[in-house]
Amino acid sequence: MVERPASVVKELLENAVDAGSTRIDLRIEEGGVGRIRVTDNGAGIAPDQMPLALLRHATSKISSIEELERVATLGFRGEALAAIASVAQLQLTSRPWQQPIANMIDGRSGLITPAAGPPGTVVDISDLFGATPARRKFLKGSSTEAAHCLDAWRRIALAHPQIQFNFEAWSDGIRRRQERWPADGALERALTCLGDEVRAAHRVVDRQLGAANGLCLHGVVGLPEASRPRADQQFLFVNGRCVRDRTLGFAVKQAYGESLHGDRQPVFILMLSLDPALVDVNVHPAKTEVRFRDPTALRSFVYHVVADALRDAIGPMSAHRLLANEPGHATPLNVSSSLSLARWGGESAPAWQNRPSQGALDAAWHAQTPLPAGFSGLGRGSLKTPNLEAHVEKPAELGLEHRHVAEPDLIGNTLLGSPGAVQEALAGGTQHNATMPKLGHAIGQLHGLYILAQNSEGLLLVDMHAAHERIVFEQLKSQYSQQNVAVQPLLVPATFQANEVDVALVEESASALHALGLEIAVMGPNTLAVRAIPALLSNGDPVQLARDALVAMREGDAAEALTKRRDTILASIACHGAVRAHRSLSLSEMEALLRAMEATPGADRCNHGRPTWMVLSLADLDRRFMRGR
């Protein structure tokens, strides 16, 4: 289906990849409307096969029903060249490696003539939509169309780093744009595409799940500080094919949790590989959408793999570039060279193999950070919803109310268990840097807002309220999830009108809804009644809760709809329970907070996605004070 020049570019590049090429050159003129030329060094086309190449529904890539059910090539319908030849002038020159000369076929006449050319294939398209001016007038300007062609080129090049890709864009006889991507590793090509900001703040994803179905996921995800206001740097590939999939895309964003601030969008390039029999690629004219045999399992797989990659406790990657945007400061803060614990396609072991599991992190965390007294009942018995709401209104009951007088044992007792443990940690801070904790040791407090600490890299600044808020929030979530969801029956069922799809969904998924704490009954052909909701959400609108859950369930994520509401309440509790600004802390309290941050997953971001700490390296301090000059 030829919609614009980028559609032609996509089809021709896919054919070149399927031909086994190691180098592919693309040249466009006037945004692709004037000319599109794709040159490859692939297998080429035999002279007697060239007329078939331009025949609709003729393809050499599928030879049996079994191959059609397990499509392993980017192209398989045999429509591209025929469709392009119907709306443009096409010349195809090809020479198989075993042939002494090349042959050229004209798309209009079908005439084949000998020609000069190296092994491989050259497809030359000119005067696109020349015979259909009504379609040409709906195209954008040449620069816009050239940008779309470049985007299509990049997506193909990202999926095949073993191939060298070259791009040139010409206009009015002048070369306006040129890009050269040599054959390289997948990681290097991904970072080249995403830019320097992501190169300095990323995590490598590399996970394989069994050998039976060939399921694996690898790629690059940007850290929250590299997020963007738009979702224009998100690339998802399935078996080398760039696709759009709302379910998997949502799973990736969900894996970031609360670390994205506001409406910021994550940056990622992810390659999903699985048995071709488990995915149907023939569901969209442009082959940009696919259908999976088990989308729920794949969504869960993608979510957990990305979440694991982002779940590192506290490490050098969390350091923010404090001076990157200041005048006269050309280079950002030096981020450790060990950013990519996994060498995507290299020799080192993947990062996820060396990272402690979430269960291990939680176990260590709970051993050090019991809940404040006001929440001692959570996770050890029935959930007392009224008390939770009371704590939202009365934060003083948490035992961490606003105070101006330092209480040295308060945070130490709450987070580490005893002041003695704090003193031991402080004593250990005098040892060599090799044994220094990741967040170092506290040295003071700034205006009652920030904790100052030193580690082997330099000076750390910690937002004490944001950091403690995150610690309490993660603790509440974990203890709540360790028990069955408490249910609050409604005295009077809340009824609402629903369509047939929702009614059928309730009938088929009653047990799944009940596991989420929702009890919904069918009262009529178009009427549903909510009889019970999760106890922690008892102050919410039952009808809206049910509608959100049903909408999310249709997209495979009803649990997320309710979890988000639950987390909103827990975040409010944690905010009230966290240590307040302008409160004076002792060194032991500061030290206890740093140690708790190191044991808490995601502690480098608060509940609202803001950073909780930053680092100013010794190199930056030396540069500021002109040391060594």
* Whether residue 22 is found in the same domain as residue 148: yes
CATH number where 307 lies: 3.30.230.10
Please provide residue 104's backbone torsions phi and psi, each rounded to the nearest 5 degrees.
-125, 140
pLDDT above 50 for 405: no
Residues 6 or more apart from 385 whose CB is under 8 A from it? Answer: 486, 488, 535, 536, 538
Q: Tell whether the torsion through CA atoms of 460, 461, 466 and 472 is positive or negative.
A: positive
pLDDT tens profile 146-163: 999 999 999 999 999 999
* Whether residue 102 is found in the same domain as residue 237: no
pLDDT above 80 for 421: no
pLDDT (0 to 100) of residue 626: 80
* pTM (two decimals): 0.60
Per the structure block, which two tokens stand in for 111? 């005439």
* Whether residue 565 is found in the same domain as residue 600: no
How many whole angstroms separate alpha carbon 319 and alpha carbon 336?
Answer: 9
- Which candidate, 443, 543, 554, 466, places its Cα nearest to that of 498? 543
How does residue 560 score in pLDDT terms, banded at 50, 70 and 90? low
pLDDT above 60 for 431: no
* Whether residue 205 is found in the same domain as residue 297: yes
* Whether residue 219 is found in the same domain as residue 150: no
pLDDT tens profile 223-280: 888 888 888 899 999 988 889 888 898 899 888 877 787 778 899 999 998 888 888 8
Domain membership flag for residue 323:
no
Compute the mean pLDDT over every residue in the chain, rounded to the nearest whole number: 75
* Whether residue 176 is found in the same domain as residue 190: no
Of 164, 181, 198, which closes a domain?
Answer: 181
Q: What is the domain range of residue 511?
A: 487-574
Kindly tell me the burial class for residue 48, based on how many C-beta atoms sit within 10 Å of its own C-beta (0-12, 13-18, 19 or more): exposed
Q: Residue 579 corresponds to which amino acid?
A: V
- Flag the least confident range among 390-394, 455-459, 546-550: 390-394
* Whether residue 108 is found in the same domain as residue 33: yes
* Whether residue 513 is found in the same domain as residue 564: yes
Beta strands in 96-195 (DSSP E): 102-106, 112-115, 120-126, 164-171, 174-181
Domain membership flag for residue 338:
no
Domain membership flag for residue 454:
yes
pLDDT (0 to 100) of residue 190: 92
Q: Is 242 helix (H, G, I), strand (E, B) or coil?
A: strand
pLDDT (0 to 100) of residue 536: 61
Mean pLDDT of 344-362: 36
- Flag the least confident range among 113-127, 458-472, 594-608: 594-608
Domain membership flag for residue 322:
no
How does residue 555 score in pLDDT terms, banded at 50, 70 and 90? low
Question: Contact 401/414 with Cβ under 8 angstroms?
Answer: no
pLDDT (0 to 100) of residue 10: 92
Q: How many domains does the chain have?
A: 4
How does residue 393 score in pLDDT terms, banded at 50, 70 and 90? very low
Question: Contact 114/102 with Cβ under 8 angstroms?
Answer: yes
Mean pLDDT of 110-132: 90
Please provide residue 29's backbone torsions phi and psi, each rounded to the nearest 5 degrees.
-130, 140
3-state secondary structure 206-219: EEEECCCCCEEEEE
Domain membership flag for residue 333:
no
Mean pLDDT of 129-155: 88
How does residue 467 score in pLDDT terms, banded at 50, 70 and 90? confident
How many whole angstroms separate alpha carbon 369 and alpha carbon 428?
Answer: 20
* Whether residue 213 is found in the same domain as residue 88: no
Taking CA atoms, 20 is separated from 43, 44, 162, 279, 594, in Å, by 6, 9, 11, 23, 54
